[in-house]
A and B are shown apart, each in its own frame.
Chain A
Amino acid sequence: MDARARVHRAARDAHVTIEASPTTIGLGGETVRFVGRDAYRSTVAALREEGYELCVDVCGVDYLGHPGRDLPEGVTAERFEVVVNLLSLSQKARTRIRVQVPEHDCRVDSLFELYPGAEAMEREAYDLLGIEFVGHPDLSRILMPEDWEGHPLRKDYGVGRVPVQFKEAPGPR
């Protein structure tokens, strides 16, 4: 997407209300919303205004090699998906937001400004899946060593490729 199209799309999405996104009901009775990357942050912000006080979980899923994925109409399947689980204490309700993230431009907006508690979870998703969160204050690895190569939870990551990979150890690289 070039810059002009991006600006155009952002302007269009500024008016998108959160009802416009395709919605299904999850197995636990929670609402599942499929939003585009441009509307992701604004949707979460709107839900936060609606009373979703707690950002319970942010995680990424690599759907490489999962052909039969169930997506509602109007949602284009991409390789990665960022899944956010929000919880409303006042309404005792959960909402799940699923964002499709393409492989070639693996980035979404960070939720740090809305929910400071998303910080560690976004770092984890970045560390293990290589999804970049734009606007995150300290996007460094959290679980793996800081000089680790690759993102282990990706489906094309070679398990057992390097037996031990530490700073001082002479690796096969």
Chain B
Amino acid sequence: MTTGVRDSSAVRRVPSEEPLTALTSEGSQELLRRRDTPPAQLGRESGAVLRLPEGPVLDPGAIDVERPEDETMIINMGPQHPSTHGVLRLMLELDGEFVLRTKPVIGYLHTGMEKTAEELTYVQGATNVTRMDYLSPITNELCFSMAVESLLGVEVPERAVWIRMLMSELNRMSSHLMWMATNGLDIGSTTMMIYGLREREMILAFYEKTAGLRMNLNYVRPGGVAADLPDGWQDDVEVICDTIDARTYEYDDLLTGQPIFHERMEGVGGLTAEEALALGVTGPLLRSTGVPWDLRRSMPYLRYDEVAFDVIVGTYGDNFDRYAIRLNEIRESVRIVRQVVRRMPPGDYRAQDAKVTPPPRGRIDASMEALIHHFKLFTEGFRVPVGETYTAVESPRGELGMYLVSDGSAKPFRLHVRGPSFVNLQAVPLLMRGGLVSDTVTVISTVDPVMGEVDR
């Protein structure tokens, strides 16, 4: 049992009128009544971003602390709510139909993956991280593998790098298609949901053909990828590209010009660039405010500096911009995938380093060394030199970073995951400030949190 912070000053208590069930509580995670909430927190829940150099700043001192309680109502949305994309729980303070304060309460899907990672070897680690952001498993594996490789100093073969690019762009397409589908469902367009899932299915089928699994692939591993692309993969990918590219224009017809869709999306949930940067927001949410920040372009990894693509930015930072960015990013990913198909180099799909990657199955029967290496790898794993590294990739939701600490053993000493949706979720109170209850659904949807990654 640890004691470090158990002194009385460290323990914050909620006011006495709300009795606690346990004395160990550090304070309520829920939305409290106004007079029980510290001013800074009250400002935060009301959507204030403090200390901005310019732009609209809500002064927490100006917030009505003593608002009569019969005027407002605190309601609970989630964790079991169809439009919260998992188990997100929002507590809303309402004045009639208008949202005054919002507080996301998370942790309902917390499974201790960072702790689990400390118990798994680096070989097993990719199976763990792939379950975090379950809509973009490849990105998680890629980030983990790149972190391990940077500590190991292993050079990945050229073909493996391009396979990784192919798979992560397909993943971006499938993730954004899934977003289009759920967003369509949230605003009542059931057709869009069916369309989005239908197109995503093609990519999942290709995954199954390549890696054997549709989700949680464990395909990208330290040292390369798990298997080479199947025969005739070019044709499969061409079909995927052609179909999805053509169908994005169907989505245009279905949604982009539709008046009801515009009413729900345009001008709702506005965000400025200053606010986004102050809140640490990345990904389509940041780009919607007009900041052209995409790690693929700004700090290229893999071979993104060798392919041509556009970074899509918005202007107003509202829901519609975020929709348009995701739709156009599908088209840009199609562009990248087509270039990857053209330029896919021949060669090995994983590093031929017997200490890191397993030997081919055929060699195990013939070579004693191969058998030993295989046995050692899958029982003990490989040892990684002492050190720390922070690796970041552009996931469909923003910057996915992993801070990996190694103590020289075969298991990570600490693996911290910077989940983009975990950080992006902080923008929700701001986006909802003064909005209508019905807009909360579209706001949550366009922030696009994946709870597996938020809670880890």
Q: In the complex, what's the smallest C-beta–C-beta distance from B126 to chain A, in angstroms?
A: 19
A65 and B407 CA atoms in complex are apart in Å by 9
A37 contacts the other chain (Cβ, under 8 Å)? no
A73 and B442 CA atoms in complex are apart in Å by 52
Interface centre among B119, B390, B407, B423 (most CB of A within 10 A): B390
Q: Which of B19-27, B93-101, B370-378 contacts A (4 or more CB under 8 A)?
A: B19-27
A154 and B118 CA atoms in complex are apart in Å by 11
A26 and B150 CA atoms in complex are apart in Å by 10
Which one of B44, B107, B298, B455 contacts A92 once the chains associate, using CB atoms below 8 Å? B298
Q: In the complex, what's the smallest C-beta–C-beta distance from B3 to chain A, in angstroms?
A: 9
Q: In the complex, what's the smallest C-beta–C-beta distance from A139 to chain B, in angstroms?
A: 6
Which one of B119, B280, B299 contacts A117 once the chains associate, using CB atoms below 8 Å? B280
A70 contacts the other chain (Cβ, under 8 Å)? yes
Which one of A28, A137, A146, A149 contacts B29 once the chains associate, using CB atoms below 8 Å? A146
B362 contacts the other chain (Cβ, under 8 Å)? no
0 or 1 for each of B47-72: is its CB under 8 Å from A? (1 = yes): 00111000000000000000000000
The main secondary structure of chain A at its interface with chain B is: loop
Q: Which of B109-117, B237-245, B261-269, B336-344 contacts A (4 or more CB under 8 A)?
A: B109-117
A152 contacts the other chain (Cβ, under 8 Å)? yes
Which one of A59, A150, A154 contacts B403 once the chains associate, using CB atoms below 8 Å? A59
Interface residues of A in 116-156 (CB under 8 A from B): 116-121, 124, 126, 128, 130-132, 137-154, 156
Given A113-B51, A116-B279, A117-B423, answer yes or no on A27-B389 (Cβ-Cβ < 8 Å): yes
Using a CB–CB distance below 8 Å, which chain A residues touch chain B? 26-28, 30, 53-57, 59, 61-62, 65-66, 68-70, 83, 85, 87, 89, 92, 94, 96, 103-104, 106-107, 112-121, 124, 126, 128, 130-132, 137-154, 156-159, 167
A87 and B277 CA atoms in complex are apart in Å by 10
6 new A-B contacts at CB < 8 Å, known A28-B391, A120-B426, A140-B29: A54-B282, A89-B277, A89-B298, A107-B5, A117-B423, A147-B24
Q: Are A106 and B5 interface neighbours, CB within 8 A? A: yes
B418 contacts the other chain (Cβ, under 8 Å)? yes
Q: Are A104 and B4 interface neighbours, CB within 8 A? A: yes
Which one of A30, A92, A167 contacts B390 once the chains associate, using CB atoms below 8 Å? A30
Q: Are A89 and B115 interface neighbours, CB within 8 A? A: no
